[in-house]
Structure 1
Amino acid sequence: MKLDQQILQDFGPSVFQRPLFYSYPAGLRFRLSESGNALELFLLALRRATLICKDIFADDPIVACLRKHSGTGHFEHRRTLQSLASAGVSIPNQRSIWSEEIDPEEWLHETSPECWLYLSFEVSASLLETLLWCALAKDFRKIQPNPGCDVYLFNLQKKVVVFPYDDRGMDVVGPNRELLSVLYKKHQSYLLDGDRHAMEISFNSP
């Protein structure tokens, strides 16, 4: 089965809706950074995200899914691939590429149709921190390498997906309620306070 088909089969179309935490039932939302300058925020977010994600992936392969707006020019898409290569991420021949139409009310320009472009591929768990770097660097122009796209990390074996949406936070969702419950209990101190009540209802109710 192709990666895009397996992702949509296991997680459903809502997995790419944003905010992911509010689109997918009974998920987790973690606080990644606190305060400081841009570099301090980025490095703290990277450390926390890596700590949590090691409990999700361990030695399991990672299916990375990159999402980028179609409105950017060909040069921008080429720059994304170049940034990935400079980070040590090689796109394997076995990959899935697809697109999703964007509602016309959400177009950045009214003159031409727009869509989300997706590229998914499987890599070794050894690239976990590198992929998290690529995900979190998106909003930091001076931090390189920086592919400038959304990065979703899927563990298809355990049926959990990680979405670091920026240096402030990271959503973790999926049908594997048992693993999510373990993460909820182990990483209590990193849960995002604004959504803690919703998570308590999902994972701490009798």
Structure 2
Amino acid sequence: MQTTKQEYRQFLQDHFKRLNLRAPLFYNSDFGLRFDLQVGETNTEKYFQNVIRRATTIFQNAFDDSDNVFLVLMDYKYKRRKIRFSNFIFKQILDLHTGEIIFLKEIGLYDPHDKFDIRNIGVIKLTSGRINHKTVLLAIANQDFPSRFPRLENNHIISNKEIYFINISKKLILNMYDDRGLDVVATDIETLRPIYEKHKDWILDYDREQIEKLFA
């Protein structure tokens, strides 16, 4: 029987062999969607309401509560900093216990020539319904606005954390990188088609032509 670490590695190898799990997902994948979450004037309450409305709507179209998921929390390693069980993201998971978390380390993820480019990674295998995804997405939206809460960190500093939702059941990955946008990538175009058809108006204009060609 495989361990969670082996399952996680094997899943990425089998279904996303050419994809490094890093931002920007859209530009590192053959089949992807890039959504624009921004509506109206930045840093107003209405602006953030629209960001979360779009982000949660897309998430709920990509994930059913019963879907098996790898939740991946990635953080830049600075000195002795590590991912702790008490961090904000883990608190958003229903009935989480320490034995469900595996910890990995990735070196040179963004710069293969930089020995100090080290990421601490926490991976949890669970069902989507256990994740308080709306609060997680809200914290991601707030990360570049130190006065807003909730936050990925417990203080006012800007976070280096990245969160990836890997849908094992549907073989897709979702990453909201900040309040500006969200990427969804998959192993084939048909997995993405229903999401695209429902929310094509939210596609980022910069990448619209490239994305529309996929679904032509």
Same fold (TM over 0.5): yes
SS across alignment from 1:16: coil
Q: Which runs of 5+ in 2 are unaligned?
A: 153-158
Q: Is the 8 A contact 1:104 1:113 kept in 2?
A: no
State TM-score, norm by structure 1.
Answer: 0.82
* Cα distance in structure 1, aligned partners of 2:112 and 2:79: 17
Aligned counterpart, 2:105: 99
Aligned counterpart, 1:69: 76
Would you say 1:82 and 2:87 are equivalent positions?
yes
Shift of 1:55: 1.1
Shift of 1:136: 2.6
Shift of 1:30: 0.5
SS across alignment from 2:149: coil
* Cα distance in structure 1, aligned partners of 2:164 and 2:79: 20
121-130 vs 170-179, greater mean Cα deviation: 121-130
* Cα distance in structure 2, aligned partners of 1:139 and 1:45: 13
Would you say 1:159 and 2:171 are equivalent positions?
yes
Shift of 1:81: 3.5
SS across alignment from 1:82: coil
Which of 192, 198, 211 aligns to 1:180? It is 192
Aligned counterpart, 1:117: 120
Aligned counterpart, 2:180: 168
RMSD of aligned residue pairs (Cα, Å): 2.5
Aligned counterpart, 1:20: 25
Higher normalized helix content (fraction of residues) = 1
Aligned counterpart, 1:55: 61
Instruction: Tell me the alpha carbon deviations over residues 33-89 of structure 1, each in whole angstroms, 9 at most, x when there is no partner.
Output: 122242433332111011111111122243211111012653x745x8332355466
* Cα distance in structure 2, aligned partners of 1:201 and 1:72: 45
State TM-score, norm by structure 2.
Answer: 0.79
SS across alignment from 2:27: helix
179-188 vs 143-152, greater mean Cα deviation: 143-152
Instruction: Tell me the alpha carbon deviations over residues 122-145 of structure 1, each in whole angstroms, 9 at most, x when there is no partner.
Output: 344332223322333322322223
Percent identity, aligned pairs only?
28
Question: Which amino acid is the alignment partner of residue 197 of structure 1?
Answer: E
Structure 1 residues 114 and 177: alpha-carbon distance in aligned structure 2, compared to 1, 3 A threshold = same
Q: Is the 8 A contact 1:87 1:145 kept in 2?
A: no
Which of 8, 15, 20 aligns to 2:12? It is 8
Shift of 1:117: 1.4
Shift of 1:202: 1.0
* Cα distance in structure 1, aligned partners of 2:35 and 2:71: 20
SS across alignment from 1:142: coil
Shift of 1:31: 0.6
Residue-pair matches, total:
197
Aligned counterpart, 2:207: 195
Question: Which amino acid is the alignment partner of residue 57 of structure 1?
Answer: F
Q: Which runs of 5+ in 1 are unaligned?
A: none
* Cα distance in structure 2, aligned partners of 1:87 and 1:187: 27
Structure 1 residues 13 and 96: alpha-carbon distance in aligned structure 2, compared to 1, 3 A threshold = farther
Q: Is the 8 A contact 1:71 1:114 kept in 2?
A: no
